[in-house]
A and B are shown apart, each in its own frame.
Chain A
Amino acid sequence: MGVILKLSGADMLMRALHDEGVELIFGYPGGAALHIYDAIFRQDKIDHILVRHEQGATHAADGYARATGKPGVVLVTSGPGATNAITGIATAFMDSIPMVVISGQVASHLIGTDAFQETDMIGISRPVVKHSYTVFDAQDIPKIIKEAFYVATSGRPGPVVIDIPKDMTAPDKLYDYEYPEKANIRSYNPPIEPEQNQIERAVAAIISANKPVIYAGGGAIASNAFKELFELNEILDAPITNTLMGLGIYPATHKRFLGMLGMHGTYQANMAMHNADLIIAIGARFDDRITNNPSKFSPDAKIIHLDVDHSSVSKIIEADIAVFGQVKNSLEAIIKTLKNNLDDYDSKRLKPWHSQIAEWRSSHGLNYELYKDESDNNSILPQAVVQHVYNITKGEAYVTSDVGQHQMFAAQYYHFDKPRKWINSGGLGTMGFGLPAAMGVKFAFPNEEVVCITGEGSIQMCIQELSTCFQYNLPIKIININNEALGMVKQWQDMNYGGRHSESTYQNSLPDFIKLAESYGHVGIKIEKNSELKESLEKAFSMKDKLVFVDVYVDPSEHVYPMLVANDSLENMWLSKDKKT
């Protein structure tokens, strides 16, 4: 650095984003952001992607962030531009995804006057951001950008909003530009290294456990702890389960992997959690989809909880040993201490535990009670669609999903061996996330296969982004698992409301998705029979340079199982429509 330039606020903003390493912005222009958009036009370092709705911009930036680990960047205008972005900001907040959202604001002298397109963005976004900034003095723009990226990416990551009144970016006022090398926020100090005494307590508990389970979540992915987690379990030889957010942080095809746990987790994962004597929670937060009834959760287990966020530990389930720090660093410390005590660690003692788990696995594995007859006498099962997609893509695709039954089928039947490949809205459960998130992933990795597994309900919530996909030539594969109903809502209505399908079907009003895809310039393929399924999916994936919208009609009566019995322990599950554990 050291070079001082005279720049306008808008030019400083673009220059600062470039100096921060930003390559891509997802956004939508409007009055209060026009000075910034002019600055975008006059530079060539950063690409701007024009979406069709601000929600699409935030989800695309989110997908980009989840796949790359780098913060996603969004630019929107004031008022409706800002409010449209809120759902995507909340989605990123619930899943701790680093994101910086820049919103235009009406000029300073108009704030508070109910000016055209004025809204209190800082106020509206406050509960769903990690932090936010208003630019009161254009000279502060470089410093605020530096701080915003630091806050968004450090500690427990999350979205940060920067609200910029229009006069702060005016072209006629120039400022000395210098980008700070380091953010210095005196009141902010996220933990990195764990305390050694906690590590020693954790290792002692690990050494004495006979029925340990590793339970790893999205925090382990955020901390890029794949290698460390794998190395730890090469020593421990413990069964391991991942949350919906954690899928891929441990290879799903590994023999120690139990599958996902929780609401729609596998039989063996939930049984192992319930019967464990030690749970090693790694970057996971014991949310209600995991614990079910907290007072009945894993009655005999001691809990070791590794997390970067103090407030996530002992919030729902009391931790016996709390290890605060970056999960990666905490795992490294545990491995080091364990290696110094290797004589005390005998993984052979876990043999009875492994045989018990093998028994659970074979009695109610995931394919339990799925059809064996794939003739056209049967409707296509949604699980089979995911299995075929998994086989065709050799398990190596980036898979985004929306929310509902198709999301759970994707999580259960696409086996992720690497982190950051499974991109879904776990915490907020945002329908409409899948397609724009897939765009973000495709921009980050143009040569990789990107699949959006969605449903006819979710896809219609952000379907306008098909137009963006055409503009930027994004050959995503959209697998629309079409059961002509809001499947998960319907499943709950079947199970808990006497089969009264209140407002969960569309009365034959669905669009012709094939024509719809074609009118956006893409290819549409319809699949209605089992005999067409494999071949038509292969055809879709063979069109490398086309976005293909595959509309697969599946059995509308299918439910997602296993499913935890409401408000009970993890060992009580529905295994099929008429069978409980």
Chain B
Amino acid sequence: MIKRKLIMIMENKPGALVRVVGLFHQRGYNIETLHVDPVTDFSRYKFIEEKLETKFKENEISRLTITTFVSDSLMRQILRQLNKLIDVIAVSNEETTYLKGVLLDENLL
């Protein structure tokens, strides 16, 4: 078990955060730290806007950082479960990113 960091970009909608937190509990994973901010500087996420064919507006998306102690295989499973949440736009760990449901081989967030 190693301490690992997950980063998520998600829709800033009511109930979105509890879906993420609830998923950790439901699947038996533990959250060590959690940090949420509304995204104000969209320049870092131009590639997401292009992929989604959208323009983000103020207070529309949030950035979440979660740290957790997990094994490699569990990390992959957590990523896949988070990717399934409808409000999650992108989620990444150190090596991979799911962006709009597509797996990419680098941490883009």
Which chain A residues numbered 122 to 162 have a C-beta less than 8 Å away from chain B? Answer: 122-123, 126-127, 130-132, 134, 136, 151
Asked if B86 contacts A187 (CB within 8 A), the reply is yes
User: Which of A130, A151, A311 touches B81 (beta carbons < 8 Å)?
Assistant: A311
Which chain A residues numbered 302 to 350 have a C-beta less than 8 Å away from chain B? Answer: 309-311, 314-315
- Which of B33-41, B62-70, B98-106 sits within the interface? B98-106
Interface range on chain B: under 10, 10 to 19, 20 to 34, or 35 or more? 20 to 34
> Which B residues are CB-close (under 8 A) to A122?
15
Asked if B86 contacts A186 (CB within 8 A), the reply is no
Interface contact tally, CB-CB below 8 A = 52
User: Which of B26, B77, B86, B88 touches A311 (beta carbons < 8 Å)?
Assistant: B77
Asked if A127 contacts B22 (CB within 8 A), the reply is yes
Q: Known contacts A187-B88, A311-B81, A311-B84; is A127 also within 8 Å of B26 by CB?
A: yes
Q: Known contacts A310-B103, A314-B76; is A126 also within 8 Å of B84 by CB?
A: no
Per-position 1/0 for B90-104, Cβ under 8 A of A: 000000001011110
Main secondary structure of the interface of A (DSSP, over half): loop
User: Which of A127, A134, A187 touches B14 (beta carbons < 8 Å)?
Assistant: A134
In the docked arrangement, what's the CA distance between A401 and B77, Å? 33
Asked if B10 CB lies within 8 Å of chain A CBs, one says yes
> Which A residues are CB-close (under 8 A) to B101?
188-191, 310
Q: Known contacts A187-B52, A189-B101; is A310 also within 8 Å of B80 by CB?
A: yes
Asked if A131 contacts B100 (CB within 8 A), the reply is no
Min CB distance B14 to A, Å, is: 7
> Which B residues are CB-close (under 8 A) to A134?
14-15
Asked if A3 CB lies within 8 Å of chain B CBs, one says no
Asked if B88 contacts A315 (CB within 8 A), the reply is no
- Most chain-A CB neighbours within 10 Å: which of B14, B83, B101, B103? B101
> Which A residues are CB-close (under 8 A) to B54?
186
Which chain A residues numbered 272 to 314 have a C-beta less than 8 Å away from chain B? Answer: 309-311, 314
Min CB distance A196 to B, Å, is: 15
Asked if B18 contacts A126 (CB within 8 A), the reply is yes
In the docked arrangement, what's the CA distance between A311 and B98, Å? 12
Asked if B5 CB lies within 8 Å of chain A CBs, one says no
Closest residue of B by beta carbon distance from A309: B84
Closest residue of A by beta carbon distance from B103: A310
> Which B residues are CB-close (under 8 A) to A190?
101
22 A-B pairs (CB sep. < 8 Å): A122-B15, A126-B18, A126-B19, A126-B22, A127-B26, A130-B86, A131-B86, A134-B14, A134-B15, A186-B52, A186-B53, A186-B89, A187-B10, A187-B11, A187-B88, A187-B100, A188-B100, A190-B101, A309-B84, A310-B83, A311-B80, A311-B81
Known: A186-B52, A187-B89. 6 other contacts (CB 8 A): A186-B53, A186-B54, A190-B101, A309-B84, A311-B84, A314-B76
